[in-house]
Structure 1
Amino acid sequence: MGCSKNQSLMPIEQALSKMQSAVSNVCHAINLPLAQALGYALATDVLSPLNVPSFNNSAMDGYAVLKGDLKKASKQSPVSLTLVGQSFAGAPYHGKIKSGECIRIMTGAVMPKDVDSVVMQERITRHDDRITFIQTPTLGDNVRLAAEDMCKGQCVLKKGHKLSVRDIPLLASLGLADISVFRPLKVAVFSSGDELKNIGHTLSEGEIYDSNRYSIIALLSRLNVEIIDFGIVKDDRVAIREALLLADQQADVVITSGGVSVGDADFIKEVLIEIGSIVFWKLAIKPGKPFAFGKLTHSVFFGLPGNPVSAMVTLYQLAVPIMATLAGFDVAPVLRLQAKCSHVVKKSPGRTDFQRAIYKIDDAGQLIVQTTGSQGSGVFSSMSQSNCFMVLEAERGDVLQGEIVIIEPYNALMN
């Protein structure tokens, strides 16, 4: 399709900008025990209530010393100090250490105020209470200083940050038993089509299994959302209207697949105009041109195409970033890389093309990419076999073998 035939189609960049401008966070803050907060978005900045660590401590099992006592220690002239005590994690040494003395100290134990360095235990010899050193340490060797990691009052995580496995122990180290997060987004899902059948049932002539709902719910399950499954709704204007009204009452987001094209039985668009509004319909992307974005009384609406690949591509590329904003998450930038295309790829200018592809690194360390073959919007095996999108710009034509293209490796939602 040439550019002249796509003048009325909205570019994907404009569509994303328009949707982001039209929505904001709809989820209120709740308090959760830290152990249950994984995957939630922070409702406030997290400020450290204390210094971490809260005291100078040893980073090694060894001997705490005054560096000055060992300023001349060497293999030729070893220096011996008197062992006067020990400091264990949770059981600090409280005595005063004088020049010529040292203490045994274990990892994480409090450093006495009088000493400034730790010599690891492998670098000494011991005879009774005499500890012999053969090397002068650098000032502060093997010592973790108070507030070295975090200072009291420091912002350690920002509002909107999605709590990861790496963040939970960080917050635990601050002693935070509960955390303020945004409640999960509520998302209603249904498929539309008289030809659709639930899996587990026998197909009659002309019928197909409803795979879209399963792909949508599978991807949504990787997000922190509450899914409301409305099943299959027949291509009936009244049934679709009732389903949309009920979904609008129960959810923050309504996602449908099918019924947004131009067929005689595609009622979703006209019902949406009647009970809500359409912000835009039809985009300059491939696959996924008949994507609709609109609003109902209480919810945001995403109308995905009926073709399986088109539904997955538009959900991933368009709906997910907007749902992140609605749920209070920071929208992370998309990782895109340059790769060398291993073969000729046919493309007509006019629409941004998301080709399903496989990337790898060759023996020279170069990223190489090839498509999965047939790119039809009904060929869902192209999604299953791929590990990235080859993103071909709207104005681009055919890609020659060896040309550099942009790839977008699948993130955790798709893997």
Structure 2
Amino acid sequence: MPAPTADPPGPLSVAEALERVLAICDAREPAIERVALESAFGRVLIQDVHAPFDLPPFANSAMDGFALRGGDLPLEGERALRLVGTVLAGSPARLACAAGECVRITTGAPMPDGADTVVIKENVRVSGGQVVVGAGERHGANVRPAGEDHARGERVVRAGEELEAARLGALAACGIAAVDVARRPRVAVFVTGDELVPPAQALGFGQIHDSNRYTLGALLRATGLEPVRVAHLRDDRGALRDALLAAAQACDVIISSGGVSAGEADFMPGLVAELGRVHFWKVRMRPGMPLLFGGIGPSLVFGLPGNPVSTVATFLLLVQPALLALQRAAEPRPRRWKARLAAPLVKRHARAEFLRARLEWRDDGGCWATPLAKQGSGMLRGLVDADALVALPEEPCEHAPGHVVDVLPLPRARP
């Protein structure tokens, strides 16, 4: 099979491939939709949100106690103040506190006019209509000033940030009930290969169960996306061509696994070149070198290698960043942590390598990575046992235990 024309030609480094993917995604104008806050979890905010008023909007008490004028606090001994009322959180009444007076107050209640200090109730003695305060209390204590959290006009959430729990709470505190977000990309997933059969079907000679359909589906859901089209396609050029054309009309992104190398039944490179454009084919990485990235009509196409580990590695390194970039995420690049090697490591070849590894956080706070003994790209066991990929650069290397390396956490990794 002749190699399709690619721009740029030849295998790219992982960094070059990622920048190429992000540049093409950034050039696309995202569709914008307005969603209610209840449905906004995991979405990417499309524009900055600023506080429409001070947060909190009024000075309030940080503790249960008694609001008073700081000038009435005794420098020594005790002082009795007249109790003139009570203000509770949510109370519409506005009370005033004159010199020599105090007001019982609960956490979150607005400060009475004239009061600037709250003494917690455990530090006073109540006797009849008087509250006795001792020396040692601080002027201005236990008061949250208006605008302490955000002043009016201050940015609360940045464009490009994912709306998780804290950001949703901050938006709600601003009185915002709906936000503008980027529409989530519509994704089709195709797994190819005559050898694949569903998990419920008994295996015949030469057959294996289709695992990539479920792995890719889970990786997409971990990215906040639900595939709109999932199909198993046999190694038939005509059927694959029809499926690609149909998906390109309905989806923003097509992800396939298998059929991207140079074998007799590897039709993806030629078909993408025929129907659209190949942006690049092959990346200098292990596992995952045959990765293809192109476009058919308005749809981006990622042809991932069919080996399970290659599928996961190329998804995390290049596909997931593209899906985030299409939503205008502020930082779509893969997360990288630092870890020390727990065992010696030798790499002789000149491709970037991503080794399955286990992470361990030791008592000194350091993160240590132990590469697994079995690193075959077709071995699901390595993915099950690992919680990170150790990222090694292209140059051959030899590292002793304790050497600091980059690691890419797998979705379930927890520090």
Matched residue, 1:16: 18
SS in 1 for 2:325: helix
Distance 1:333 1:262, change over 3 A: closer
1:196 aligns to 2:196 (yes or no): yes
* Equivalent AA in structure 2 for residue 250 of structure 1: A
How many Å separate the matches in 2 of 1:126 and 1:340? 60
Match of 2:36 among 33, 38, 56: 33
Match of 1:293 in 2: 293
**SS of equivalent to 1:301:** strand
How far apart are residue 159 of structure 1 and its match? Answer: 1.8
Q: Which runs of 5+ in 1 are unaligned?
A: 1-6
Match of 2:249 in 1: 249
Q: What amino acid does structure 1 have at the position aligned with 2:43?
A: Y
RMSD: 2.0
Q: Please state how far the C-alpha of 1:391 moved relative to its aligned partner.
A: 1.0
- What is the rounded CA distance, in whole Å, between the counterparts of 1:92 and 1:223 in structure 2? 45
Instruction: Tell me what 2:313 maps to.
Output: 313
For structure 2, the 5+ residue unaligned runs are: 1-8
Question: Which residue of the partner structure matches residue 373 of structure 2?
Answer: 373
- 2:3 aligns with none
Most deviating of 133-142 and 309-318? 133-142
Deviates more, 1:348-357 or 1:392-401: 392-401
Counterpart in the other structure of 2:181: 181
Aligned partners of 2:412 and 2:53: how far apart in 1? 34
Alignment partners' CA distance in 1, 2:351 and 2:167: 40
Provide the rounded CA distance (Å) in 2 between the counterparts of 1:396 and 1:320.
28
Deviation larger for 325-334 or 177-186: 325-334
Alignment CA distance shift 1:368-1:412 (3 Å): closer
Q: Does 1:323 align with 2:323?
A: yes
| SS of structure 1 residue aligned to 2:188 | strand
- The match for 1:150 is 150
Partner of 2:6: none
Query: Which residue of 1 is the match for residue 50 of structure 2?
Result: 47
Residue 239 (str. 1) matches residue 242 (str. 2): no
Q: CA–CA distance in 2 between the matches of 1:362 and 1:155?
A: 38
Distance verdict in 2 for CA 1:366–1:406, change over 3 Å: same
Change (3 A) 1:300 1:320: same
* Cα offsets for 1:252-306 (capped at 9, x unmatched): 0000000000101101110111001101111110100000000110100100001
Give the superposition deviation at 1:384: 0.8
Q: Output aligned runs, 1:4-403, within 5 Å.
A: 8-24=10-26, 25-72=28-75, 74=76, 77-91=77-91, 94-332=94-332, 334-403=334-403
Query: Per-residue deviation at 1:323?
Result: 1.2
Shift of the 413–221 alpha-carbon distance from structure 1 to 2, 3 Å rule, reads farther
Give me the whole-angstrom Cα distance separating, in 1, the residues matched to 2:273 and 2:395.
Answer: 32
Mapped partners of 1:129, 1:87: distance in 2:
16
What CA distance in whole angstroms lies between the structure 1 residues aligned with 2:24 and 2:58? 49
The structural deviation recorded for 1:8 is 4.6
CA distance in 1, matches of 2:154, 2:367: 40
CA distance in 2, matches of 1:153, 1:364: 43
Distance in 2 (CA, whole Å) between partners of 1:298 and 1:230 is 19
Match of 2:99, as an amino acid?
S
The structural deviation recorded for 1:413 is 8.9
> In structure 1, what residue type is equivalent to 2:217?
I
Q: What is the letter of the counterpart of residue 22 of structure 1?
A: I
Q: How many residues of Structure 1 are paired with residues of Structure 2 in the alignment? A: 406
In structure 1, distance between residues paired with 2:343 and 2:173 = 52
Moved more, 277-286 or 358-367: 358-367
Q: Which sits farther off after the overlay, 398-407 or 201-210?
A: 398-407
Label 1:111 to 1:364 Cα distance change in 2 as closer, same or farther (>3 A). Answer: closer
Quick check: 2:316–2:334 contact (8 Å CA) kept in 1? no
C-alpha distance 257-150 of structure 1, shift in aligned 2 (>3 A): same
Q: Measured at CA, do residues 98 and 391 of structure 1 come closer, stay the same or move farther in structure 2, by a change above 3 Å?
A: same
- What amino acid does structure 2 have at the position aligned with 1:48? A
Distance (whole Å) between structure 1 residues aligned to residue 126 and residue 40 of structure 2: 49
Report if the CA contact (8 A) 1:93-1:112 is conserved: no
Matches of 1:352 and 1:168, distance apart in 2 = 39
Structure 1 equivalent of residue 4 of structure 2: none
Matched position secondary structure for 2:171: helix
Could you tell me whether the CA contact under 8 Å between 2:387 and 2:412 is conserved in 1?
Answer: no
CA distance in 1, matches of 2:102, 2:40: 45
Q: Is the 8 A contact 1:391 1:405 kept in 2?
A: yes
State the 1:227 CA deviation.
0.8
- Cα pair distance change 1:413/1:228, threshold 3 Å: farther
CA distance in 2, matches of 1:206, 1:124: 82
Q: CA deviation digits over 1:318-374, x for unaligned, max 9?
A: 110011111222225544333332223332231111000011133444432211211
Post-superposition Cα deviations, 1:168-215, rounded to whole Å, max 9, x if no partner, equal 211111111222212221000001111111111111111111111110
Larger mean Cα displacement after TM superposition, 269-278 or 96-105: 96-105
Identical columns (%) = 35
Letter of the aligned partner of 1:179 in structure 2?
V
**Please, which moves more after superposition, 150-159 or 32-41?**
150-159
Contact map agreement 2:282 2:291 (CA 8 A) in 1: yes
Find the aligned partners of 2:322 and 2:328 in 1 and give their Cα distance.
Answer: 10
